[in-house]
Amino acid sequence: MPVQGWLLASSDRKDAVKEQLDRLLLDPSFQRSKRYPSLLRFLVFRTLDGEADSLKERILGIEVFGRRPDYDTNEDPIVRVTVAEVRKRIQKYYEDPRHKNELHIGLPTGSYVPIFEFPADSSACPSALGEERSGGSATSIGAIPEVSTTADTPLRVVQTSVSSPTIRKAIAIGAAFTLAIILSMTLWGVRKRSILDAFWGPVLNSANPLLLCIADQPRKDPHPTNAYHPELQGGEGDKGSIIYADNVPFLVDMTKMITSRGRSYKVQVQGQTTFTDLACGPVVLMGGSNNIWTLRLTQPLRFHFGNDPMVTQYWIEDSSVPARRDWIRPVVPPQGPFKDYALVARFADPYTRQMTVVIAGLGHTGMVAAVSFVLSPQYLSELDRRAPSNWRNKNIEVVLETMVVNGYAGSPLIDAVYTW
């Protein structure tokens, strides 16, 4: 599924795109033609106006090139030919080192919708709404405790003057037993940290603070978000948004894991997070249908979110089998036991150019299962057994299911794994 261009939240960002467009069209490769600038300007302005869905070949032929409404696009490929030439000129422009750090206007192959990439220089990143923290500790709810013993822990040998062979033998057996326990705990701790690092290492190795982008809801008129058209929820977000108390334990457990590894982080609600924020460093997106950035960034992936036209049901969609509905649940959960589902993904996003982790459930109980999965050595060890051997160095998506009884989620079970 192609990315339909990023809707820019503020007028300042739209103005920045327009200024960059003017700069781009001053290039000699565009100035020698009237057709190429006209088409690119039309594509950019329609996208900025939120009308990207109207950028179809026939519409472009009619509105930009004056063709009749019934013209044959196969016999007259003027749109496809012109777009290909515009794409070449854009690529040539940005290959010049002088334009390396400029806002990037791109025209992806196979699409008529431009995308806008702001420079990802961390020094230019705006400060987050949340306080940046480094180190410290947090009280965890439901987190699995870590063993601080490491492979380098020294063992002290205590000398004794007891001469009885029986006592000496008892001491030797006791020492050996104690040593075995310590070594076992040490190896367990190393394995535990190793499997957690296998998943989180690519995200936490960045020198830039990690952004925790968490779900929120507008205080006024909250309604389910359409997974296929998340932009319909609005622009900048309602500054009166709220965070549900149920999500606080997730945030606490995540921050504990991050600080235990000596990394710094920022916390922002999704409604006030911009594309530029996402391009400043590694990102963890928490929340599914209530996090617009989760919906946007997962749209091009094999597994992503979907819903019916009336948004009464959510599902995780497999783009290789779009009609499949194995992972579906109603927005309002049914009475009695039911299954909830979640999506966990770790990937290098091609647009933000940052490592991104998605932790998202179809419902709250699915989210509980997803957070438990990414923070548990036990569950990640199961992933290690199920996934291809090189998954640690690849992008990965995992579909999870959990049985919900009396409102409580059970253990997360792996339904599908995909790497690329």
The H or E element that residue 37 is part of is helix 35-48
CB-side neighbour CA atoms (13 Å) of 192:
18
pLDDT digit string (tens) for 308-334? Answer: 988 899 999 999 999 999 999 999 988
* Rounded Cα–Cα distance for residues 70 and 84 (Å): 23
* Rounded Cα–Cα distance for residues 121 and 124 (Å): 6
The H or E element that residue 409 is part of is strand 408-409
- How many residues does the structure list for the chain? 420
DSSP character at residue 232 = G
* Rounded Cα–Cα distance for residues 295 and 343 (Å): 11
* Rounded Cα–Cα distance for residues 7 and 296 (Å): 10
* Rounded Cα–Cα distance for residues 277 and 213 (Å): 10
Kindly tell me the number of DSSP H helices and DSSP E strands found in the chain.
Answer: 11, 14
Q: What is residue 45's predicted lDDT score, i.e. its pLDDT? A: 93
- Nearest Cα neighbor of 361 from 379, 373, 343 is 343
Phi-psi region of 157 (alpha: psi -120 to 50; beta: other; left: phi over 0): beta
* Rounded Cα–Cα distance for residues 355 and 125 (Å): 16
pLDDT digit string (tens) for 78-88? Answer: 999 999 999 99
* Rounded Cα–Cα distance for residues 156 and 354 (Å): 45
Per-residue pLDDT of the chain (420 residues; tens, 9 = 90+): 333 334 444 577 788 899 999 999 999 999 888 899 999 999 999 988 888 878 999 999 999 999 999 999 999 999 999 999 999 999 999 998 888 888 999 888 778 989 888 765 444 454 333 333 333 333 222 232 333 333 333 333 333 334 455 555 555 565 555 555 454 444 444 445 589 999 999 898 887 889 999 988 665 555 567 777 775 554 444 445 566 666 688 888 899 999 888 888 999 999 889 988 999 899 999 999 889 999 999 999 999 999 998 889 999 999 999 999 999 999 998 889 999 999 999 999 988 889 999 999 999 999 999 999 999 999 999 999 999 999 998 999 999 999 999 989 999 999 999 999
The H or E element that residue 16 is part of is helix 11-25
Burial class of residue 338, CB neighbours in 10 A (0-12, 13-18, 19+): middle
Q: What is residue 158's predicted lDDT score, i.e. its pLDDT? A: 33
**Quick one: how far is CA 241 from the chain centroid?**
21
Instruction: Report CA torsion sign: 220, 221, 225, 229.
Output: negative
Q: Find all residues with CB under 8 Å of 360, minimum gap 6, and list them.
A: 285, 286, 287, 288, 291, 294, 298, 305, 342, 343, 344, 366, 367, 370
Beta carbons of 348 and 356 less than 8 angstroms apart: yes
Q: Find all residues with CB under 8 Å of 124, minimum gap 6, and list them.
A: none
| Residue that has been written with the tokens 């990690």 in this structure | 210
